[in-house]
Amino acid sequence: MGNRLFQEARKAVAQAKQAANGEIDMNVDHAIAIAKNALSSAYAHSNTAEKAQLRQFQAELDELTH
């Protein structure tokens, strides 16, 4: 099944990107906050490869806030 927290983080980042692009009706700041929380939770419970991807997800979120 894989790492559930990692999957949730990936989904939350995707939602934040969709909110930022106006693809879904969701407050962007709220979506980013959810994604950051999900990334933080996932990072503590991930293996090395997952952590590398989580860092990439974090970079994508950082781009939304700049």
pLDDT in tens, the chain (66 residues): 479 999 999 999 999 999 999 999 999 999 999 999 999 999 999 999 999 999 999 999 999 987
Quote the pTM value. Answer: 0.91
Contacts of 6 (CB under 8 A, 6+ apart): 42, 45, 46, 50, 53, 54
Look at residues 4, 1, 15, 11 and name the one whose alpha carbon lies nearest to residue 46: 4
